[in-house]
Amino acid sequence: MAEAPRPLPLAGVRVVEFTHMVMGPTCGLILADLGAEVIKIEPVTGDNTRKLIGSGAGFFPTFNRNKQSLAIDTKDPLGREIVLKLVAAADVFSENFKAGAMARLGFDADTLRKLNPRLIYVSHKGFLPGPYEQRTALDEVVQMMGGLAYMTGPEGRPLRAGTSVNDIMGGMFGAIGALAALLQRDRAGTGTGQGTEVQSALFENNVFLVAQHMMQYAVTGQKPAPMPSRISAWAVYDVFTVAGDEQIFLAVVSDTQWALFCKAFGYDDLIADARLTSNNDRVRARDWMMPLLRERLAPLDAGIIAQTFEANGLPYAPITKPQDLFDDDHLTATGGLAPVTISADCSGAERAVATQTPLLPLTFDGDRLPLRSPPPALGQDNARILGELGYSAAAIASLASQGIIRGTG
């Protein structure tokens, strides 16, 4: 007899998610992928990210899989009553709206934790409590004020990172806080039985990301240079342009790797050069060493260089575009991408798109966490969730006719 599949780690945990954009939905995504029942509360008109264009077109399909959708007017007393009924039996409430927004709706931490003392209340904000807490923040705002944009771009040209690093990591820290609070509440023998208020924030997340550069300054007394003009910790850690104007990233970060690199490419003169004996010696010699290496590697084919680095256990990477990852050999062989059909509405006409989506970068006993359901259609779970809360079919139809919920999907 085949063994029954092992329950997912958070099976039986209910999360009420009152979020939008990226940070809050990322927290819910992680909890949902780990097996929690995540009920996403949306406006009757839908989460605005459903219809974003440009770089926002991937937000909703990326961060909302494995969730349920309850489309409801929470400004109406009857709508708020539904949310409070859900919260009364929930384990986690997650939100990422501006300071004061939840209090105006009656969904602030104090109110909800009085209703449900076991509730873990997770807030995702721009700033933790302090002088900045009332400011409006975005990923790009905190990258600029938190040193990350300065470190990423060339001198005088601050540049945001190429993805929503603070939003995504801020959501991750919110999820970590929720998991820790669940453990604190429920640990056998020592659990408090009580919920906790957890807060994660974009700015503090960004400061954590640049902490290594802050400590670099503390240790050296030298101001960290932006990445394009930094003094590298490694002698060879660069993008090289080679035959056919192809580019490839190559790294040689230890004395052992330097010896392997020189032997593999026949650079006996370099391995014998006393000025290049140690990694630190080679870092000091980069002004003349790197142009020499670039000249020697320039005529070589990128594929041949990659094969040589692979054979010698040396780090290298092709320069890959996001769209190329759908065909990545490793991802396709290891189940890192899951097939999914998503709704695309960024052009004004909704259509179904069959694609693949990256799973969480985790395994449990070698297994990836599954994609159990695609991002939900707006309000698709209204009737079922309301029915479970005790609403009759007639009551549900009345709520829909009044515009308090979206249809009866």
In order of their start, the domains of the chain are: 14-210+333-401 (3.40.50.10540), 232-318 (3.30.1540.10)
Contact 19, 69 (CB under 8 A): no
Strands 337-344 and 351-358: antiparallel
Contact 135, 129 (CB under 8 A): no
What is the DSSP-derived secondary structure letter of residue 405? B
Instruction: Give the integer Cα–Cα distance in Å for 405 and 409.
Output: 10
Long-range contact set of residues 16-19: C-beta below 8 Å, sequence gap at least 24 = 16/41, 16/83, 16/86, 16/87, 16/90, 16/92, 16/93, 16/94, 17/41, 17/67, 17/94, 17/95, 18/83, 18/93, 18/94, 18/95, 18/97, 18/102, 18/107, 19/94, 19/95, 19/96, 19/97, 19/124
Strands 197-201 and 363-364: unpaired
Take residue 292 and report the two structure tokens written for it. 């020499």
Take residue 400 and report the two structure tokens written for it. 């829909």
Residue 227, pLDDT score: 85
Q: Which residue has the tokens 């999820």?
A: 175
Q: Is 212 helix (H, G, I), strand (E, B) or coil?
A: helix
Residue 317, pLDDT score: 98
Instruction: Give the integer Cα–Cα distance in Å for 344 and 328.
Output: 24
Residue 218, pLDDT score: 97
Instruction: Give, in degrees to the nearest 5, the angle at Cα 190 between 189 and 196.
Output: 135
Q: Greatest CA separation found in the chain?
A: 86
Cα 301 to the center of its chain, rounded Å: 35
Residue 13, pLDDT score: 98
pLDDT under 70: residue ranges of the chain: 1-4, 345-349, 408-409
Residue 233, pLDDT score: 83
Residue 409, pLDDT score: 45
Residue 305, pLDDT score: 98
4 by Cβ neighbours in 10 Å (0-12 / 13-18 / 19+) ranks as exposed
Residue 347, pLDDT score: 57
Q: Can you state the percent helix, strand and coil of the chain, rounding each to 5?
A: 45, 15, 40
Instruction: Give the integer Cα–Cα distance in Å for 128 and 158.
Output: 24
Residue 346, pLDDT score: 56
